[in-house]
Chains A and B, each alone.
Chain A
């Protein structure tokens, strides 16, 4: 390539050192560009190649417990049955799903209440078929408000959390509306 026979040893070694740092720099830059390119490719290809078809068959309220009246407002607890299959969401750019059941209701003080009552992180495709029966809510319905006789709508939602790229919200179309009891649990109200 380059004829170095006429260069003195001093300039030769300088040239060598020079190329070393330049090489390292070039190598590093190419590495970064490649990484960035494949990251983008990874994200885009997952959109094009996979078409998730999540299924949800069952969403039922199993039991509604009597409402407790506390100093911080009413608290309601219930249990539910749910069956959903989210396995088709998993592909090579998906790290985990954050699955959560929301309850939305209207009260006298608040025109919009949206509350997570149950959540789960799904990290592998093996765990992605949900089959819950008589599952108690994780977080009680509360919010400094009266809850008697309120209609509550349950909805399963989840967030796709990718290895790299955009995070998205997905909402399952199946909903379930039920009515909270009209009276308090007097045995527990003093607590």
Chain B
């Protein structure tokens, strides 16, 4: 309780020093914008519109479990069977991470791609939009190149419990404003 009171005192003391208060606000902005720049920078380097994704389902087990993180890139090289791709389906909000099973490229350069989850018995035709048989190159948001286990669990919690988001961001903002690490 004393700690809280002390933090509160520090917070109140800020108002008597408006310049310091403004500086701390700027600090906070600096952190937020650095994170944003990092994200946008990654987008430019990797060429993928979402360079980092969290695995949300068990359809790629035992390779990827819920909460694992994948790093993506999106090069111009041809998509190959075996590639783990992240793709978007019309009418579905959440992108899917599955493995490429078949690739057929027409003479004009159009690519027809069929995917399948490692843990699924059948290919993904049932997941695609009604009547859709193949994915195009434009459906692919990126290909997985690196793997980091468990870390995405935090994101899943933040999504499942929205209040956690406010608590976490609130505390972090508060501590930055009163000038602690």
Contact = CB atoms under 8 A, between A and B. Distances in A.
A157 to B, nearest CB: 6
Interface residues of B, number: 29
Given A111-B107, A161-B147, A162-B147, A167 B84 contact: yes
A163 B144 CA distance: 14
B146 A165 contact: yes
Interface in B104-146: 104-107, 112, 118, 144-146
Interface in B129-181: 144-149, 181
B102 A143 contact: yes
Given A18-B3, A123-B62, A112 B81 contact: no
A17 B3 contact: yes
Contacts of B3: 14, 17-18, 20-21
A176 interface: no
Interface in A121-157: 121, 123, 139, 143-145, 157
Contacts, number: 94
A114 B100 CA distance: 10
A162 B147 CA distance: 7
Interface of B: 2-3, 6, 62-63, 78, 80-84, 99-107, 112, 118, 144-149, 181
20 contacts: A10-B2, A17-B6, A95-B63, A96-B62, A96-B63, A98-B82, A102-B82, A110-B107, A111-B107, A112-B104, A114-B81, A115-B102, A116-B82, A121-B62, A121-B63, A123-B62, A144-B104, A164-B149, A166-B145, A167-B145
Interface of A: 10, 13-14, 17-18, 20-21, 25, 39, 95-96, 98, 100, 102, 109-116, 121, 123, 139, 143-145, 157-159, 161-167, 169
